[in-house]
A and B are shown apart, each in its own frame.
Chain A
Amino acid sequence: MSYLRIVLHHLAKDLKLEWRSRDAITGMLFFSLLVVVLFSFAFDPTAAVSRQIAGGILWVAILFASVTALNQTWTRELRNHVLDAQRMAPSPASALLMGKVLANFIFVTFIQIVLAPLFIVFYNLHALGQAWLLLLILPLGTWALVMNGTFFAALGLRTRNRELLLPLVLFPISIPALLAMVEATTGILTGDVDPVLWMKLLAGYCIIFTTVCVLLFETILAAE
């Protein structure tokens, strides 16, 4: 089987599992909704203020929400020793990672599609820059978070306190990506800053860390 087909098999399996339980999506959706509501209570923003802070709130909400789902993503492979079977399988280890990353990417993108209208309503948003660029920034930012997040969730899989360890490792490493996402989004909402520079940084971050994750995943999976 070609590499791509193995990835698609993993993806199909993860989508099917999620379709049957809907745990990750429901959890993330409600969690991010709560964060959005809580922040709007905490800041009580007017239209002008909300343009300044909405980018940050959106990404922090997505970051927190995806951590809740990412913590679960490998745990379901532990049941019935599925992960041990995966380790013995002759297929390349990184295909397993890519399948999971794609699945998580789809879940988080779904959350964003649902969350976006709510966000616009709650924060009275009206972008002053080129709003269509958000269609590039959102997938790039999501990819950066999900790629590293899935990798570190696998890294923390057999550690004590693994639920706690994921954010502790993921947040520091994601700081440049988070800065780029927030700056680019705020730039579009306020129309003050040119977001292209930040999008380039984000794209570079995605390329670099996707490469590193794919290269090192086998080491993580086989760590004993």
Chain B
Amino acid sequence: MMKKLLWLWGAASVAALVWGTRLALFVAPTEATMGNVQRIFYWHVPSAIMGLIFPYVNFIAALVYLGLRRKKPAGALKADALALAAAEVTLVFVSIGLITGMLWGRASWGIWWTWDERLTTYLLLWLLYVSYMLVRRFSSTGQTHTLAAVISVFAAIDVPVVYMSIRWWRTQHPSPVFFGGKDSGIDPSMMPAFLWCLLGWAMWGVFLLCLRYGLERRRQTIAYNTALRAVEVGLEGNA
């Protein structure tokens, strides 16, 4: 039942993405200064937003893991699976945000990359999650969860510090389009395309998160059963 619901959700997210992309490419008006290049906005901004939301899922799951680790190990493992899934989805969205951003930057600023506040922070977010994944990969089985949770806490603290420090340094990225003061915001006619794309990417992210979570939970169960069997065999051997 859950499985069917999940696949239904996945199909719905693809449908939302298709519809949003159609609106973005053919229905939304052409932007005044940048022309058709601006249409990448409808994919760039939603995935960038998602890349900033899923780290919170990862951070909260890591905190839950650290809190429950001793008291309720079984619940803590669920939190850890969620943290891993969120970290991987974060990496996907941040990568998409970086790549689409670079393409857009090349077309509208004339450069692929600049070390401004948001680009640098975003790149650092990517680097931190890559090192999170590397810690998970390199650490031996028993302690992976704890070490990864600690890295996740460090990453969560580091990102705001970087944002502040680069802000003092230099800035080129346009100021926030939404909630950025009186002159910010986009034309109402662009709104449907943007919102559909945002919805599509959000649903797609949740879909990936659930898939990866289920996969990790199965891996945990198998690892648990294997360990249990090894113990049983050992006990029988002694008897």
| Interface residues of A, Cβ cutoff 8 Å to B | 155-156, 158-162, 164-165, 168-169, 172-173, 175-176, 179-180, 183, 197-198, 201, 204-205, 208-209, 212, 216, 219-220, 223-224
Partner of B143, one of A161, A209, A223: A223
With A and B bound together, what is the CA distance between A164 and B134 in angstroms?
10
Q: B140–A158 contact, CB under 8 A? A: yes
Interface: B45 (CB within 8 A): no
Q: A216–B124 contact, CB under 8 A? A: no
Partner of B128, one of A173, A208, A220: A173
Taking A162-B138, A176-B161 as known contacts, 4 extra A-B pairs with beta carbons closer than 8 A to each other, sorted by chain A number, are A158-B143, A165-B134, A179-B166, A201-B168
Interface class of chain B by DSSP: helix
Interface size class of B (residues with CB under 8 A): 20 to 34
A residues in contact with B140, CB < 8 Å: 158-160
Q: B131–A223 contact, CB under 8 A? A: no
Q: A179–B153 contact, CB under 8 A? A: no
Interface class of chain A by DSSP: helix
With A and B bound together, what is the CA distance between A158 and B144 in angstroms?
10
Partner of A212, one of B128, B131, B157, B164: B157
Least distance between A157 CB and chain B CB atoms (Å) = 10
Q: B161–A165 contact, CB under 8 A? A: no
Q: A165–B138 contact, CB under 8 A? A: yes
Q: A155-B147, A212-B154, A216-B153 are in contact. Are A183 and B131 (CB under 8 A)?
A: no
B residues in contact with A183, CB < 8 Å: 169
5 contacts between A and B (CB under 8 A): A159-B138, A179-B165, A219-B150, A220-B147, A223-B146
